[in-house]
Amino acid sequence: MGLVVEQNKTDRLKPKILLILDSNQQPVQRRILDMAQNPRDSGGQLYRVKQIIRPQDHAIDLHQLYHEGAFTKAYPLVS
């Protein structure tokens, strides 16, 4: 699961996403996925946006992430 942190003005379906949770909703090492670069997971599968969710429906506290500096830190870029 991730949060959109930057729009792609030429392809709105391929933003930059900050990964925060894995498929089991467990925290992961945060990194940025540039969806325009068609990144792949460790199994070789393309990352993709499956659906848009509301953070509060998955216990994601945007205020806490903001206060932790999650939106201003430099994370590794996965491309």
Domain ranges, residue 9: 2-78
At 7-61, the pLDDT tens digits run 999 998 899 999 888 888 888 888 899 999 999 988 899 988 888 888 888 788 8
What span, in angstroms and rounded, lies between the C-alpha atoms of 52 and 38?
19
pTM (two decimals): 0.76
pLDDT at 74 over 80: no
Report the number of distinct structural domains present in the chain: 1
